[in-house]
């Protein structure tokens, strides 16, 4: 049992203090996840798969928020670790199911769970991680006492409701091919989908684990909401341009997936009717699947050009595919065109401005927390605001 | 607030008392689900989808077990209803995700969630139902007191772990195309996958809601384990032959899905090596997908026979499909052959014998519960043992 994080090691060249803080939190959280699940009962395959995404790296941002908040308020590390580990596990469960829902292929430098192991296994592994997370929250009764343990459970119940509601809104937008959405619509969705589980609840749960009263939770909600908005917009911007080695996700994946980002919505709202119509048509196209890699179309083209397939035969095959609603997928040219549309409309600058506004609001909300004493934990939270927003600079 | 179930109505022709009891439990549970989720926040689409499977009918077996156990021990209906409703919601969440994992098309007389709304929506709706289920269990603190509420939460946490472990084992068997499995292997998997969430935990949670002590839980585990085994084997037998209107699932779906049932494993163990090899090869074949309905093969055949597609062209297309590992799916002839193999080996009789043994063990376990007084609730439990096992008669 440890009361706090170890002190940073002495270095000849001082590293970035935030990175060092995040690394310490990640180490503590990884240790807790191994303690909780590394020797779990059940088939080894399931245990390995549960630990797959958490072991792929990632910054462990959510555990760091919980730990910084708890230690910053004078709480003990062992009081918050099960909660921090649980939130990290929830995050990874959501990632596995999101990757299925978004048809993503790549996550932290490796194929996504459903690409590597199939959708059935990926659905069950995500369910396993959601299921496993309840036990440590119940064990909290012994760690932090009954009242705080129940308050953390209620916060997590609230968080999961918000998250699935946000996910449902985003899926609805893609399904309905909605485009006439405002910045406010986008921010409402992001608050539900991202801010609660990634920022607000980690901060609140850390504070509760330190014994903070209910009056502390509202200012933390404000802080987490703005931090979440700045984070998600920045993440969406990174998705358009970042180096996959550094970013760990697919480049432009959001455009292939038909995600409604602040930039894309701004570009469509700003576009001339004809361009908007083209953009909306592109968004309605499905993402290419592995089947599209078959090259069946190209082969049929070649056969037809060599006279080995009649014109009528080619037409019949195309007609069959068409009537079966096998619509053509998005192409790279489509994605480039959307990107150009956003560039011409100044949508990336607009998104950067909105992200900067929310980062400033988050910094201001943190500055107002006069009940959080100065410490390296508070410093880490302040540095996190800069980090979350500054990744595109 | 109601203390108990209403009395059955007077009938000119007395109906089946168990069916009447189940109908009363279902009505009470449906009312509770509507109270809990019918006016939930969030987008109407998500709410409607959360209520879709529960509203499709089903016998509400799990709520009935909880209610009968609680009322039979002198507990109040309102003490058990949130738990009963939560268990029914869990069941329906598992069904939605199972249907994705098993590629099932049909559920209670309608297309499955992922067939009707796509895999992304179905994954999220299942997650929503799992997430929503935590709140009523927390509200239990006010209904049944802190101690019992925490014990019910722990029982549910234990249950979900067991369920995902069982699901993982079954998915592993399908993935590895395992066939050399004993009755005991099958029963271990069924206990994890089915008995905990469908029988053991509903019985235990109902008893806890009535204030029963920890010493009551082990005999209920024994009762639920045998009841679960009899139920699942009977369900697997029904899957081979039942009327879809009465049964609500696909006929022979298990064989198409490659499920390892007691009958199929018995047939493979009993078969001559050559027949076993053929059976195992069939099981390795994938289930036909919607794409297979395209009729592309038939169209190519027609074009080739009319000279509109050259022999070389047809070969090139076949080779392309073959090298892309688009293996041929199972056929109806495959399924018929497996069914005949089971018939010849007497596997259906063997399965019926095993189910009967567990039904007898369940009846004996119930008979030994001398702390459960005689009542219409105890009678309902006894009738349920007969019902669960007797569906194939």
Q: Is A112 exposed, middle or buried (0-12, 13-18, 19+ CB in 10 A)?
A: buried
Q: What's the average model confidence in pLDDT over B27-43?
A: 78
Residue/partner pairs of A15-20 with CB below 8 Å, 24 or more apart: A17/A376, A17/A379, A17/A380, A17/A383, A18/A380, A18/A383, A18/A384, A18/A387
Distance separating alpha carbons of residues A298 and A347, to the nearest angstrom: 36
CB B385 within 8 A of CB B359: yes
Q: Is the pLDDT of residue A357 over 50?
A: yes
| Set of chain A residues whose Cβ sits within 8 Å of the Cβ of B148 | none
H or E, element range at A110: strand A110-111
Distance separating alpha carbons of residues A85 and A28, to the nearest angstrom: 9
The yes/no answer on whether domain A18-268+331-390 falls in CATH 1.10.1060.10 is no
Q: Which of B356, B355, B354, B379 is nearest to B366 (CA)?
A: B379
Who among B131, B164, B172 is closest to A164 (CB)? B131
- Higher per-residue confidence, B309 vs A37: B309
Choose, out of B119, B141, B168, B169, the residue to mutate when testing the contact with A (most A CBs < 10 Å).
Answer: B168
Decide if A313 and B312 are in contact by the 8 Å CB cutoff.
no
Choose, out of B165, B295, B299, B325, the residue to mutate when testing the contact with A (most A CBs < 10 Å).
Answer: B165
* Band of residue B193 on the pLDDT scale cut at 50, 70, 90: very high
CB B261 within 8 A of CB B253: no
Convert the pLDDT of each residue in B319-340 to its tens digit.
666 555 456 778 888 888 999 9
**Got the DSSP string for B103-149?**
T--EETTEE-HHHHH-HHHHHHHHHHHHHHTHHHHHHHHHHH-HHHH
Q: What's the average model confidence in pLDDT over B68-79?
A: 97
Rounded to a whole number of angstroms, the distance from the CA of A359 to the nearest CA of chain B is: 27
Q: Nearest 5°: phi and psi at A111?
A: -60, 145
Domain boundaries, chain A: 18-268+331-390
Residue A389 confidence (pLDDT): 82
Q: What's the average model confidence in pLDDT over A212-227?
A: 97
Q: Is the pLDDT of residue B43 over 90?
A: no
Q: What does the block give as tokens for A295?
A: 């090259």
Q: What does the block give as tokens for A329?
A: 């997928």
Q: What's the average model confidence in pLDDT over B210-233?
A: 97
Q: Is the pLDDT of residue A207 over 90?
A: yes
Decide if B102 and A123 are in contact by the 8 Å CB cutoff.
no
Decide if A294 and B324 are in contact by the 8 Å CB cutoff.
yes
ipTM attached to this prediction:
0.82
The CATH number of B17-269+331-390 is: 1.10.600.10
Q: What is the mean pLDDT of chain B?
A: 87
Q: What does the block give as tokens for B379?
A: 């009678």
- Higher per-residue confidence, A389 vs B136: B136
CB A73 within 8 A of CB A143: no
Convert the pLDDT of each residue in B157-170 to its tens digit.
999 999 999 999 99
Q: Of the ranges A68-82, A109-123, A241-255, B63-77, which one carries the lowest mean pLDDT score?
A: A241-255
Choose, out of A122, A171, A323, the residue to mutate when testing the contact with B (most B CBs < 10 Å).
Answer: A171
The length of chain A in residues reads 393
Judge whether A309 is closer than 8 Å to chain B, CB to CB: yes
Distance separating alpha carbons of residues A204 and A5, to the nearest angstrom: 19
Q: Could you identify the residue written with the tokens 């639920």?
A: B224
Q: What's the average model confidence in pLDDT over A291-297?
A: 59
Residue A245 confidence (pLDDT): 47
């Amino acid at each position: 049992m440890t009361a706090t994080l170890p002190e940073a090691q002495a270095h000849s060249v001082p590293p970035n203090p935030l990175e060092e803080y995040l690394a310490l939190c990640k180490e503590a959280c990884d240790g807790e996840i191994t303690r909780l699940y590394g020797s779990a009962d059940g088939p080894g395959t399931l245990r390995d798969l549960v630990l797959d995404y958490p072991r792929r790296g990632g910054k462990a941002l959510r555990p760091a928020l919980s730990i910084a908040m708890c230690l910053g308020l004078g709480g003990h590390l062992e009081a918050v670790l099960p909660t921090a580990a649980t939130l990290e596990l929830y995050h990874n469960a959501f990632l596995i199911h999101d990757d299925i829902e978004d048809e993503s292929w790549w996550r932290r430098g490796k194929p996504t769970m459903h690409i590597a192991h199939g959708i059935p296994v990926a659905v069950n592994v995500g369910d396993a991680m959601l299921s496993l997370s309840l036990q440590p929250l119940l064990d909290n009764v012994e760690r932090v006492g009954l009242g705080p343990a129940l308050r953390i459970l209620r916060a997590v119940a609230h968080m999961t409701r918000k998250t699935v509601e946000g996910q449902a809104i985003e899926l609805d937008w893609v399904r309905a091919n909605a485009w006439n959405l405002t910045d406010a619509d986008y921010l409402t969705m992001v608050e539900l989908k991202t801010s609660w589980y990634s920022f607000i609840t980690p901060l609140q749960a850390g504070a509760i684990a330190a014994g903070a009263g209910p009056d502390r939770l509202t200012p933390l909600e404000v802080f987490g909401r703005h931090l979440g908005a700045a984070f998600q917009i920045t993440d969406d911007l990174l998705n358009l341009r970042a180096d996959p080695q550094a970013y760990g996700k697919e480049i432009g994946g959001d455009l292939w997936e038909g995600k409604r980002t602040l930039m894309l919505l701004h570009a469509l709202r700003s576009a001339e009717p004809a361009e908007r119509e083209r953009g909306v048509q592109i968004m309605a196209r499905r993402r290419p699947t592995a089947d599209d890699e078959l090259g069946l179309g190209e082969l049929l083209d070649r056969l037809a050009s060599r006279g080995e397939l009649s014109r009528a035969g080619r037409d019949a095959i195309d007609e069959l595919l068409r009537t079966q609603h096998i619509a053509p997928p998005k192409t790279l040219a489509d994605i480039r065109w959307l990107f150009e549309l956003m560039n011409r409309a100044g949508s990336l600058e607009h998104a950067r401005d909105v992200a900067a506004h929310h980062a400033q609001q988050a910094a201001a909300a943190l500055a107002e927390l006069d009940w959080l004493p100065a410490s390296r934990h508070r410093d880490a939270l302040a540095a996190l605001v800069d980090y979350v927003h500054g990744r595109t600079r």
